[in-house]
Amino acid sequence: MASTHHDNAGTTPARKVRVVAKLRGILRQEPDSEPKLNSWISVNKPQGENFESVTLSFGEQSSSRYWMHYCYEEHEENELIYSREVKPLVSAVFEGHNSTVIACGARGSGKTHLIQGSAEKPGLAMLAIAEFTSLAEKNGKSISISFYEVDHQDHAVDLLNPGHPPILVYEDRGRIQFKGLSQIPVKSVAEFQNFYFAACSAQKTITRKGFEHARRSHMGLIVNVFSQNASVENGLVSKMSFVDLAGYEDARKKSSDTICLAETNKINKSIYALMNVSHALSTNESRVPYRESKLTRMLQDSLRGTGRILIVACLNPSFCQDTIYMVSLASRSCQSIQRTFLDSTKKISSSASQIKTYQKRQITKSVLKSAKKIPASVSCHSEKKVVAAPKSAIKARKLFDEASNSAARAKKEISMVQNSSETLLVNQDNSLDITENHVESNTRVVKDNSLPDASKNVKGNLMVENGDSSLNTSSEVEIYPIEEKGISLNGEDHQDASNFYEAVELVHEDLNMNKENNSLMIIEQGQQALAMVQEGQNINKENNSSMAYEDGSTPISSQLRDLSNRFKWLYSSTPWQISEKECISLDSTSVDIMEPKTPVVEQTTSLNDRRDIMNPKSPWETFSVHGSGMKNSLVEEYLRFLNSANKEELKKLKGIGEKRATYILELREESPEPFKSLDDLRDIGLSAKQIKGIMKKEVGELFN
Ligand SMILES: Nc1ncnc2c1ncn2[C@@H]1O[C@H](COP(=O)(O)OP(=O)(O)OP(=O)(O)O)[C@@H](O)[C@H]1O
């Protein structure tokens, strides 16, 4: 695909992910006093015509540059963006390559105007439909459309057939399938307009009705191209998706309303998920986190393989901190930035093994040393105690982890946290340092007096139980809400936050099966800490361009790294982790593989020798390896049961009622074995946490 597709310039091979920005013009109703475009957004284009990227900088933060492949200015309208960016993708769809166009940005940044437009000023989707219908006619193909919304609760609903149950998303024979999503054949632009605009206005009415605040949601339009050729499965050639993401909005703006806050967090989380998927695809990562949100799961087929992705970051013309954040997220998918990140990551991984202890003072010192290089946003309270957790306790926590290779996954995700603008190095003396090898695009000029006393605003205090003492004590995170002082939140902090959020979730998944639940508390409180940190950050318009430390307090990026390192340390101190090399190949049948193979060895080997053969170094580790094996067997049995039991039997399981049992049977009609891993339980509406809870209960029942 890369060799056959070309960028709009037609000279260079196409990228998997292309990221462009679009500056929205000033609206008539916007006050003249607002800072205008060029006073807060600078687009830095290299000299010459054939440049492949531009950088954006905001306000006086001229040293903070975010890479984009291109930036469309305010006078450059949808037609131009369509002809340069989208038209080639439409042609590619007819050659069998899926495409996805994603509009992201803060609220009111022009996403809907870009994708949907209006009858007078058509958006990218409508312009594309004109091309689709004409190419379909020429090539003897047909097209159909589907239109859906993913709401603030991560439910997907059909907008062309409203009022029906949420869309069921599942995978069958390697393809993502939708149950409950209608497809309407379309032959002309007029026909499309009828369906599309009617659905859009119906959606707006429903959204506004009965809610004081407009609920945010993502909207996705799918254009399917079908072949008349019966040899192609289902006749589907390929498809193009247009996604109008909900506007990114800092959760703190809604902090007074807890329901709203939860909704905002959920929406933001799915934005992070999509950006993380796009980043993973742009950097050819082996694991692409499609399952992290409903939207990414729905888009999975469009995004993967030879699918091409266009991200348009819409920019508000007046000051908007959320815009900076969205730009920083989107720009991660630009290859040029990624290369620099990779360099940083290598350093992190080569140093990560040196982590043994964590000394707060040294970190603070390091961060302070770096304060002249990086921005401060929110400070972490200085009193933090982290002491060693008992190995046995942590080992026990792993007993009921997911059967998949979750440890490696968590480790990788943790490294994502560190894969941020500054390179975090762990020195021989166990202190952490921040190298000068930070990414140009995220570098800030820090002025000495522009940030208020940040240390008063957020206090994080994580304490993990020490030594071999009992498990009853302590895991605590104290967080104090941020004061209403102006603390700027910059892109990299948000970025850390999103990665960290993911990492914490994964570590949570990987570590939290402690019988006493202490570790669960630690992780959960860590999540709360993060939520509070996110909540507690405050945007300061006046201060946006000169984020600095007044008191030398720690920036939020360091704070988040701090927390992530604690989790990493916690994780790396488990015996399982210590013997990871030996155990890494363990899959669901690993215990059998590790056992001595012949009766002769069995008979002649002493207990100690057997332990050597099995690699674990202590009875505890031997016990744990067996525990993992038992857990894996249990998971396999559980999945087998889900794939074969009848409805009444299914309902005997924890968490499965009439509705879910019916769903499961429906899924089995579509695919004989819909449940291949515990992750697949998400398809029946269970969260990772619920799945773990269910497994715990099932195991608990065995001992009753
Ligand atoms: N390029 C443009 N030219 C003229 N008006 C525009 C342009 N882009 C956006 N607008 C106008 O700006 C306003 C906000 O745009 P729009 O609704 O598209 O933003 P949005 O990012 O989708 O907002 P939300 O996140 O709230 O859904 C609308 O009134 C729209 O008509």
pLDDT at 239 over 90: yes
Gyration radius of the chain over CA positions: 26
Q: What is the CATH number of the domain that holds 306?
A: 3.40.850.10
Whole-number pLDDT of residue 262: 78
Residue, of 686 and 310, whose pLDDT is higher: 310
Q: Are residues 383 and 284 in the same domain?
A: no
Question: What gap in Å lies between CA 283 and CA 306, rounded to an integer?
Answer: 14
Give residue 29's Cα distance to chain centre.
35
Whole-number pLDDT of residue 29: 61
Give residue 240's Cα distance to chain centre.
22
Query: Is there a binding annotation on residue 110?
Result: yes
Q: Are residues 293 and 435 in the same domain?
A: no
Q: Are residues 356 and 293 in the same domain?
A: no
Query: Is there a binding annotation on residue 112?
Result: yes
Mean pLDDT taken over the chain: 64
Q: Are residues 431 and 293 in the same domain?
A: no
Of the ranges 89-98, 294-303, 465-474, 607-616, which one carries the lowest mean pLDDT score?
465-474
Give the pLDDT confidence of 441-498 residue by residue, as tens digits: 332 322 333 333 333 333 333 333 233 333 332 332 322 222 223 323 333 334 444 4
- The domain boundary, picked from 553, 578, 603, lies at 578
Q: 71, 74, 113, 312: which to mutate for ligand 1, most atoms within 8 A of CB? A: 113
Query: Is there a binding annotation on residue 106?
Result: yes
Averaged pLDDT for residues 591-613:
39
Q: Is the CB of 111 under 6 A from ligand 1?
A: yes
Q: Is residue 431 part of a domain?
A: yes
Q: Is residue 162 part of a domain?
A: yes
Q: Is the CB of 289 under 6 A from ligand 1?
A: no
Give the pLDDT confidence of 121-176 residue by residue, as tens digits: 899 999 999 999 999 989 889 999 999 999 888 889 999 988 888 999 988 888 89
Whole-number pLDDT of residue 213: 52
Instruction: For residue 496, report the distance from its CA to the centre of ligand 1, in Å.
Output: 29
Q: Are residues 399 and 363 in the same domain?
A: yes
Domain, as residue range, for 395? 339-578
Q: Is residue 567 part of a domain?
A: yes
Tell me if 281 sits within 8 A of 300, measured CB to CB.
no
Averaged pLDDT for residues 504-525:
37
Atom of ligand 1 nearest to the CA of 22: 1
Q: Is residue 331 part of a domain?
A: no
Q: What is the CATH number of the domain that holds 668?
A: 1.10.150.280
Residue, of 668 and 507, whose pLDDT is higher: 668
The closest alpha carbon to 477, from 539, 520, 511, 413, belongs to 520
% the chain with pLDDT above 70 = 51
Give residue 529's Cα distance to chain centre.
18
| Structural domain count, the chain | 3
Q: Are residues 504 and 598 in the same domain?
A: no
Tell me the pLDDT band of 560, cut-offs 50, 70 and 90: low
Q: Are residues 628 and 694 in the same domain?
A: yes
Residue, of 674 and 125, whose pLDDT is higher: 125
Q: Are residues 416 and 277 in the same domain?
A: no
Q: Is residue 458 part of a domain?
A: yes
% the chain with pLDDT above 90 = 21
Q: Are residues 284 and 395 in the same domain?
A: no
Tell me the pLDDT band of 304, cut-offs 50, 70 and 90: very high
Atom of ligand 1 nearest to the CA of 109: 21
- The domain boundary, picked from 539, 554, 578, lies at 578
Instruction: For residue 517, report the distance from its CA to the centre of ligand 1, in Å.
Output: 48
0.80 surpassed by pTM:
no
Q: Are residues 96 and 143 in the same domain?
A: yes
DSSP state of 85: I
pLDDT at 346 over 80: no
Q: Is the CB of 693 under 6 A from ligand 1?
A: no
Q: Is the CB of 216 under 6 A from ligand 1?
A: no
Whole-number pLDDT of residue 98: 95
Q: Is residue 66 part of a domain?
A: no
Residue bearing tokens 């240390």: 455
Give the pLDDT confidence of 78-118 residue by residue, as tens digits: 999 999 999 999 999 998 899 999 999 998 899 999 999 98
Averaged pLDDT for residues 276-283:
91
Q: Is residue 239 part of a domain?
A: yes
- The domain boundary, picked from 578, 609, 641, lies at 578
The closest alpha carbon to 127, from 185, 88, 194, 78, belongs to 78
Residue, of 608 and 66, whose pLDDT is higher: 66
Averaged pLDDT for residues 55-79:
83
Q: Is the CB of 25 under 6 A from ligand 1?
A: yes
Tell me the pLDDT band of 253, cut-offs 50, 70 and 90: low
Q: Are residues 480 and 371 in the same domain?
A: yes
Question: What gap in Å lies between CA 524 and CA 512, rounded to an integer?
Answer: 9
Instruction: For residue 24, report the distance from its CA to the centre of ligand 1, in Å.
Output: 8
The closest alpha carbon to 15, from 286, 412, 284, belongs to 284
Q: Is residue 271 part of a domain?
A: yes
Instruction: For residue 52, report the distance from its CA to the centre of ligand 1, in Å.
Output: 27
Q: Are residues 294 and 416 in the same domain?
A: no
Residue nearest to atom 10 of ligand 1 (CA): 110
Whole-number pLDDT of residue 358: 32
Query: Is there a binding annotation on residue 693?
Result: no
Give the pLDDT confidence of 9-53 residue by residue, as tens digits: 444 456 789 999 999 877 766 555 444 545 678 888 777 666 678
One-character DSSP codes across 652-692: TSTT--HHHHHHHHHHHHH-S---SSGGGGGGGT--HHHHH
Residue bearing tokens 């508000």: 316
